[in-house]
Chain A
Amino acid sequence: MQPSQGGAGDRELMGRLAGGDREALAPLMERHYRRLYRIALSYLRQPDDALDVVQEVFVKAYQSASRWDGSAEAGPWLARITVNLAIDRWRRNRRRAQTFTPLAESDHVATLADLGPAPDRRVQGREAGERVAAALRALPERQRAVVVLRHYQDMSLEEIAGTLGMSLGTVKSSLHRALHRMRAGLAGEQP
């Protein structure tokens, strides 16, 4: 998990948003947009879709700020909206893919081409990314969300449970099943 960004700053900004102060949007976005982008991108694997999701998250945050529970942390609340919107987007894309030509694997290669951390690690990283992307895509929606929050956001099980509104037991079972499915997927087996 990244260093805590919650606390008074978020609460104050959310309070201002709830009062209709649009000036609070930019600082709130500055605090959270990278993290939310990575959640959406890890889930969807498409930068444009991930950006759209982040945009929707903050529009929704502005519209729902008055209903936000002031005692809650804004970070997990925003992460929850992000996961839900990413799942919605995933479903929409899947429906569209059923109507139109599905994306070829090479498209994902192109999308990931510029995301490597360093040029010398890019090829290796890309290959790992492609294999992981395929294994993640094969997971059920909620299992994938659990894996993304755990292994791409380094969240604890309790944080994942809070973010996704699941019990701790369900998070544990989901993570266990997801890892086994991914293992089978990466090994080219039927999960």
Chain B
Amino acid sequence: MSLAHLRRRRLVSLLAAGVLEGREREETVAHVEACPRCRAEHDALRAVVAAMEADPLRAAEPEVPLAFLVGRVEREVERALVPEGRPRWWLVALPAAAAVLAVAVLVPAIVARLRPAPEAAHAEIPPAEASPLLTEDALARIERNLAREHAVRYLSEAGEVLVSVAATGVDCDRAEERLDVGRAPERSRELLERRTLVVRGGGEAVASARGVLDDVELALREVADLPSCVKRADVEHVRREVEERQLLMRIRLMTRELEG
């Protein structure tokens, strides 16, 4: 096979692929019309291209809404930024600060109660409420912030659990059409145990999150009842619930609001 022939065959392929233009295209079209063998080859390759053009995947739409995908990406980005096992700095700093301030307030008070001071000196010991280090307002603010941080962590983890179920595509029993949801049911049960603390302990600080927390609870209860190898229909049900209630988007908006 000569180099010219190889080049000609390549041009016939490119004509069938619809990528030839100008003079090269005109020359190849003329050649194909004059050469029965080349025309047969061209027609066969056009059939391949036509088969691809009829492929339904060309017009396929993602099976999940954009908001769902954005949620997954943001979670992955977050996870990549915060290596597992290393909490965010404020999760450590805030409780630590609260502990230091509490010690600063309580120690003088305890010392005051324990010290066997002479009666004359008693009046000089300042009462705890009067500590210049921390006012009641400041304490209330710290408590409110901590309650919100708990709610944010709870909602973020709940979102991760729901995404892991809704987005699973791992077969655990192909014959029975069952999918693996891993530790999601177990994590849901753990989260539900924490829910009371978040809602009741949070009080007014998390009042605005009540609606989201209630819907998240319903979804978590459904996941908590699942086995780890679950029917595809049950996964679809959870996915629909999450989508219909727009849970992931609401979780994201609420966590932002709580984080201030």
- Asked if B127 CB lies within 8 Å of chain A CBs, one says no
- Asked if A3 CB lies within 8 Å of chain B CBs, one says no
Contacts of B167 in A (CB 8 A): 48, 51
Pair A41/B10 contact, Cβ less than 8 Å = no
Pick the residue among B55, B76, B77 that contacts A125 (CB under 8 A).
B55
Shortest distance from the beta carbon of A144 to any chain B beta carbon, whole Å? 12
How many angstroms between the C-alpha atoms of A147 and B48 in the bound complex? 11
**Known interface pairs A63-B80, A156-B19; A45-B62 also in contact (CB < 8 Å):** no
**Known interface pairs A45-B57, A51-B167, A175-B19; A59-B73 also in contact (CB < 8 Å):** yes
Pair A151/B10 contact, Cβ less than 8 Å = no
**Known interface pairs A131-B51, A152-B52; A172-B169 also in contact (CB < 8 Å):** no
- Asked if B165 CB lies within 8 Å of chain A CBs, one says no
- Asked if B64 CB lies within 8 Å of chain A CBs, one says yes
How many angstroms between the C-alpha atoms of A2 and B7 in the bound complex? 31
Pick the residue among B14, B63, B73 that contacts A176 (CB under 8 A).
B14
Shortest distance from the beta carbon of A63 to any chain B beta carbon, whole Å? 7
Contacts of A131 in B (CB 8 A): 51
Contacts of A190 in B (CB 8 A): none
Shortest distance from the beta carbon of B21 to any chain A beta carbon, whole Å? 9
Pair A25/B45 contact, Cβ less than 8 Å = no
Pair B60/A115 contact, Cβ less than 8 Å = yes
Shortest distance from the beta carbon of A27 to any chain B beta carbon, whole Å? 10
Report A41-79 CB contacts with B as 1/0, cut-off 8 Å. 110011111111011101100110000000000000000
Contacts of A107 in B (CB 8 A): 174
- Asked if A14 CB lies within 8 Å of chain B CBs, one says no
Pick the residue among A58, A129, A157 that contacts B56 (CB under 8 A).
A129
Among residues 44 to 97 in chain B, which have CB atoms less than 8 Å away from a CB atom of chain A? 44-45, 47-49, 51-64, 66, 69-70, 72-74, 76-77, 80
Report B3-25 CB contacts with A as 1/0, cut-off 8 Å. 00000011001101101000000
Shortest distance from the beta carbon of A190 to any chain B beta carbon, whole Å? 16
Pair B55/A33 contact, Cβ less than 8 Å = no
How many angstroms between the C-alpha atoms of A122 and B57 in the bound complex? 11
Pick the residue among B48, B62, B70, B74 that contacts A182 (CB under 8 A).
B48
**Known interface pairs A59-B77, A176-B14; A183-B44 also in contact (CB < 8 Å):** yes
Pick the residue among A47, A135, A157 that contacts B63 (CB under 8 A).
A47
- Asked if A179 CB lies within 8 Å of chain B CBs, one says yes
**Known interface pairs A42-B57, A128-B55; A180-B80 also in contact (CB < 8 Å):** no
Give the interface centre of B57, B58, B80 by most chain A CB atoms within 10 Å: B57
User: Can you add 12 more A-B contacts, CB < 8 Å, to A132-B55, A176-B14, A183-B44?
Assistant: A29-B73, A30-B66, A34-B62, A47-B62, A54-B62, A59-B77, A112-B57, A122-B56, A150-B17, A151-B53, A157-B19, A187-B44
The 5 closest A-B pairs by CB, nearest first: A48-B169, A176-B13, A125-B56, A128-B54, A151-B52
Report which B residues bind A (CB closer than 8 A).
9-10, 13-14, 16-17, 19, 44-45, 47-49, 51-64, 66, 69-70, 72-74, 76-77, 80, 167, 169, 174
Report which A residues bind B (CB closer than 8 A).
22, 25-26, 29-30, 33-34, 37-38, 41-42, 45-52, 54-56, 58-59, 62-63, 101, 107, 112, 115-117, 121-122, 124-126, 128-129, 131-132, 135, 147, 150-152, 156-157, 172-173, 175-176, 179-180, 182-183, 186-187
